[in-house]
Amino acid sequence: MIIHRSVLLGETLSYLNVLSNHHYIDCTLGGGGHTEAMLEKNGPEGRVIAFELDGETIARTKKRLKRFGKRLIVIEDTFRNLVRVSDYELRITGVLYDLGTSMDLLKSSSRGFSFLTDEPLDMRFSVAQELTAADIVNGWREKEIADMIFRYGEERWSRRIARSIIERRAKNRVCTTRELVEAIESGIPARYRHGRIHCATRTFQALRIAVNDELGALEESLDGALRIVESGGRIVVISFHSLEDRIVKQVFKKNHITGTGRILTKKPIVPSEKEQTENPASRSAKLRALEIVVRDQGSGVRCQGAVITATRNPKPET
């Protein structure tokens, strides 16, 4: 198993200001590193509600964190549905987003997230979802593919890559990551195929974002978090590319200006040189934090405090 190392762990706990017996949401359970650290600090009665889409990840992480018993609640769903915590009864003091994709999912899921191995072109965080990367590559029009690659991947060669994909799929359906990489390489001028960053990186990022509607999910979830977190509570977001960071920055700035929030990070917090050396995947990480200033006294969410994996229509235990 590939271990996903939690990024900016100490800084995260500090900016969340994790308190004993207070309750928190981890929007991205993954390997459970941040969740575990939060549970270690918010005992003996504090709980963490964690969201996760991948069933295998949930099973693996819940087993590792079973010592926390009823203090851990796992919801099998996208964090865009953050307001689902209203099915429980807890006052939420903080919400954490670690938007990095776990290394387990990238390299061991066999869903085509990585261009380094030849796998089916899938890229879904949840297999319950219908749309796959193969559907986009083989079904969308050339302009739609080019716009998607440019918008979500910020790829300068997006139009050439889209044209190459269209030409390739006219002969045979593009079904695997290797076939997609070959199409990408054909669309990029030879002198740009072997740079510091692999020439397929931005296109694969764009496809993953499009398949899972990652930016739309983030915007919707942040809106929910701003309504759920109680006064004095905090929202902390660790992003890994400029599109995510831009959304977070704009949302936090808007709430700071209106007086409903107070920005705690004038500039994003980045990993130390030591952490970047020990964990190269952390190099692009940026942490931003917002403290909620105004919140109605009636806010809060209900929770039964059970160790569960919620269904899509959860029925709290009684």
126 and 269 fall within a common domain: no
Q: Give the model confidence (pLDDT) of 158-187 as tens digits.
A: 999 999 999 999 999 999 999 999 999 999
185 and 207 fall within a common domain: yes
The predicted pLDDT at position 313 comes to: 38
User: What does pTM read for this prediction?
Assistant: 0.88
Q: What percent of the chain has pLDDT over 70?
A: 88
The predicted pLDDT at position 281 comes to: 86
The two beta strands, 286-292 and 261-263, are antiparallel
Q: How many domains, in total, are found in the chain?
A: 2
201 and 223 fall within a common domain: no
| Confidence check: pLDDT of 299 > 50 | no
Average predicted confidence (pLDDT) for the chain: 90
- Our CA dihedral for 59, 62, 66, 71, rounded to 10 degrees, sits at -140
Residue 121, phi then psi, degrees to nearest 5: -85, 90
**Residue 52 carries which side chain, given as an amino acid letter?**
E
195, 212, 229: which is the final residue of a domain? 212
Domain-located, residue 198: yes
| Confidence check: pLDDT of 306 > 60 | no
Domain range holding 301?
A: 9-104+214-310
Q: Domain of 176: which CATH number?
A: 1.10.150.170
169, 195, 212: which is the final residue of a domain? 212
Q: What percent of the chain has pLDDT over 90?
A: 77
- Among 90, 64, 76, 94, which residue's Cα sits nearest to residue 28? 76
Domain-located, residue 14: yes
